[in-house]
Amino acid sequence: MKQFHLEVCVDSLEGALIAEAAGATRIEISRLLEVGGLTPSMELVTDVCRNAKLPVIALIRCKSGDFQYTTAELETMRASAIQMKDTGVVGLAVGASDSTNSLHWDFLEQIADACGSMELVVHRVFDGVQGQWEALVRLKQLGYRRILTSGGPVNAIDGLDNLRLWNQNSTNGIEILPAGGIRPCNAEAILRETNCNQLHGSFSQSLNGKQLPIPAEIQQVIELLETRYG
């Protein structure tokens, strides 16, 4: 088993198969990558899980913009998360913040109660909330496995200090998955400075109106991971 992961985010079956063929080790499936990703349809997720051999994480996010939601929106996301259990995904990427700019713990607990048998990931809502260090401990206690994070800034290359700190001192075992503007040109520095053994990115370009991964970029980052952790 590989000691590293390269998670590629895609919004189509075509993108998933390109990422798989290029060497990705995990897929995050959503729709509308151009707005940061939204909850994909059940049909798309099922199609990807049936046709791709990689582990698949489904993003649960009902709107673009910030991560504060109405009660109805939170319920919509909870229902989507429960439905995704029947598609074949191994896990879910979820998150919400409350009016105090903290993680929305009631929502995260509901997701853990309903879907705790799956790999649970907190997405980049984590970058903008207060009390991040304490949150790492509580999330692990709830059964969350991974945090998708840039370390705070928009791009991971600017959040190296927090990524390093959270990764090196997270003795409770929760995984830190660097994300945000990761490309071959900065992946080596992010790996070296944080000691993280996994990365997340779209590595994509727009082709005929579609956002599709660039195989050469995925291959370059895989080579960096294999050199360090293979």
Domains and CATH numbers, the chain: 5-229 (3.20.20.380)
Sign of the dihedral defined by the CA atoms of residues 143, 194, 156, 89, in that order: negative
At 173 the pLDDT is: 80
Phi-psi sector, 41: left (phi>0), alpha (psi -120 to 50), beta: beta
Confidence label for 208 from pLDDT (cuts 50, 70 and 90)? confident
pLDDT in tens, 73-82: 999 999 999 9
Residue 29's SS3 state is strand
Mean pLDDT value of segment 182-196:
97
In b/e form, how buried is each residue of 25-53, taking b as 16+ CB within 10 angstroms?
A: bbbbbbbebeeebbbbeeebbbbbbeebe
Smallest Cα–Cα separation from 6: which of 147, 180, 198?
A: 198
Mean pLDDT value of segment 91-115:
97
Instruction: State how far the Cα of 183 lies from the Cα of 140, in Å rounded to an integer.
Output: 29
Cβ-based neighbour number of residue 2 at 10 Å: 13
pLDDT in tens, 48-61: 999 999 999 999 99
Q: At what angle do helices 132-142 and 160-169 cross, to 10 degrees?
A: 40
User: Are the CB atoms for 224 and 188 separated by under 8 Å?
Assistant: yes
At 1 the pLDDT is: 57
Mean pLDDT value of segment 212-229:
97
Examine the pLDDT at 170 and tell me if it is beyond 70: no
At 230 the pLDDT is: 82
At 57 the pLDDT is: 98
pLDDT in tens, 7-40: 999 999 999 999 999 999 999 999 999 999 999 9
Q: How many residues does the chain have?
A: 230
At 207 the pLDDT is: 84
Q: Which two tokens stand for residue 39?
A: 């909850």
User: Are the CB atoms for 186 and 157 separated by under 8 Å?
Assistant: yes
